[in-house]
Every structure is written in C-alpha cells, then in structure tokens.
Amino acid sequence: MTKLLVTGAAGQLGRAVLHHLLETEKVAPADLIAASRDTAKLADLAAKGVETRAADFGDEEGLVKAFTGVDRVLIISTDDLATPGNRLKQHRTAVAAAQKAGVKHIVYTSMPNPDKSLVTFAPDHLGTEEAIKASGIGYTILRNSWYHDNYMMSMPHNLQVGKWFTAMGAGKITNISRDDCARAAAAALANPPAGSQVLTLTGSESLTAEEIAARASKATGKPLDVVHVTDEQLAQGLTGAGLPDFVVKMLVSADANIRAGNFDLITGDFETLTGRKQQSLAAYFDHQKAALAG
C-alpha cells in the first residue's frame, strides 16, 4: 500500500487534486491522506474514507508527525505572501519534515522560470526547489503557469467598464486552468515520472493582451478595449482600488514578467503527464461566462 499525502487539502488546488486522485486516478480513499491546518474543513473527505491529518507549515515537529508513514507528498505552495521570506521558510520546514519522516518522493507546485522571473514571489519557489533538490528525496517539480482562474479577479470588472488596463505591453503569456494543474499533480503523485524531474505545465497557446481580451469579449458578447499603461500607472490604479501593497507589487511584477517574455513558453509536459489536452482559455471563459458577465 502506497500512502499519498496532499498538503493544503482545504484550499482550491488541494481539493481539486484530491478529486482527481479519487475520480481520475482511481486511488483508493484508504491510500490517501488530506492534510490541513484545520482538519474540520476536511470532514467531507473523511466521510469518503480519506484519512485527515493536521499539518501546519510553521510547526516542523507536527509536520514530521503528519508525514510519518507517507510514501509521496504533494507540497502545495502556501498563500503566505504578505511578509517576504515567510513562505520560503514554511516550505523549507516542510521539506525538512519530509526528510525526517522518511518520505520517498516530493511533488511540489512551483512556477515557470523562477530563476529569472520578475514576479515578487519567484524567490520563494526557487528557494524551495533548491531545498528539495538538496534533500536527497526524489522529486517531481511542477512549474504551473498563470491560471486561467486568475482572470476572474479582475476581468468581470474590466468587461463591465469595457476597458482592461494592463502593463503587459506586447508580451505574451501561456495560461492553464487550476483544474488542469490539479489533474497533473494528481497524476504525478499517483504515478511519478521516472527519476527526479522538473516539468513546466502550460497551455497550448501563448497570447497577447489583445488576444486574451478578444476571448473574454467573445464569451460574454461585451466589448473590451485593452489600455496599455506603465507599471507606475498600473500600481496607482490598483492602489486606488484598495488592494494591499503586497498584492499591488505582485500584480505589477507579473505584468513586467510577461513583458520580459518569461511567461511566453509552451511545453508538452501536461499532455505527457495526463494523456489529455489542456482546456483552452476560450473554453474556460465560455464555461465562466455567467460570472464574467457579472
């Protein structure tokens, strides 16, 4: 019996991974462990026969206990972005705990090109990758491209006013759905690729802001004009909208990263892992058109 553990199991990605482990990969519930800071949020999984364990990335001793008896663990990057350095510290704690618990394989959710990325949180991912490689544990690092889902934070408002203010410039970006990343993570956890590998999960097309806007417009029937602005202008607009400073810096850095070409890449890694095609951005927007249209 091979035991598979998913951290962050109460989060959106974690829940989707567990869904695909159970439904797509047909892993027996008894072979799965869902871990979260708050196990009360995992009651529905427990009812299906999935074991639940408490796991706090700030508590190494507790993590060692959670990881004991586990063959493979999926470390989902935490959402602690407000304080620089916190997330990397948490991830290093998780890797150290995996070592002490005797985990045989780590799957980790990273990002494309963390070594040259301009995104504010890229050092967290690069440092975690380095910690995993130094641990001596076998690994599958999944560098997830920017989610389709991220557009749902601002695109409904953009469509409402008919304008999308962006600092992407002429840069292109490859997007992939969160659900497809979950499907790939489930596949990597259930049947890890041979040896240790770094895989980049992307969509099948790389798009400009105008091409993204056209897909959102087509799905909703609402016109959407792209307005190119500078980093400073974008930061002012986001700050004016009431977003926290660390979120403003993250979003501005993401647009700068697109301009630099660091999100413009297409690989076949998703298809190799899962044996299927990714959901396109057009199909995702079409599926979300009611929410997009507001």
| pLDDT tens-digit map of 119-167 | 999 999 999 999 999 999 999 999 999 999 999 999 999 999 999 999 9
Q: Phi then psi for 139, rounded to 5 degrees? A: -150, 155
Question: 137 vs 75, 92, 130, 131, 175, CA distance in Å?
Answer: 13, 13, 12, 10, 30
Task: Judge whether 179 and 279 are in contact, CB under 8 Å.
Answer: yes
> d(Cα 147, Cα 152) in Å, to the nearest integer?
10
- Each residue of 199-236: pLDDT tens digit? 999 999 999 999 999 999 999 999 999 999 999 999 99
> Which CATH fold would you assign to the domain 4-145+177-202+266-278?
Rossmann fold (3.40.50)
- Whether the per-residue pLDDT at 82 is higher than 90: the answer is no
- Whether the per-residue pLDDT at 274 is higher than 90: the answer is yes
pLDDT at 85: 87
> d(Cα 98, Cα 75) in Å, to the nearest integer?
10
- Domain positions in the chain: 4-145+177-202+266-278
Closest by alpha carbon to 265, among 194, 190, 204? 204
- Each residue of 24-63: pLDDT tens digit? 999 999 999 999 999 999 999 999 999 999 999 999 999 9
Closest by alpha carbon to 52, among 101, 100, 15? 15
> d(Cα 141, Cα 138) in Å, to the nearest integer?
10
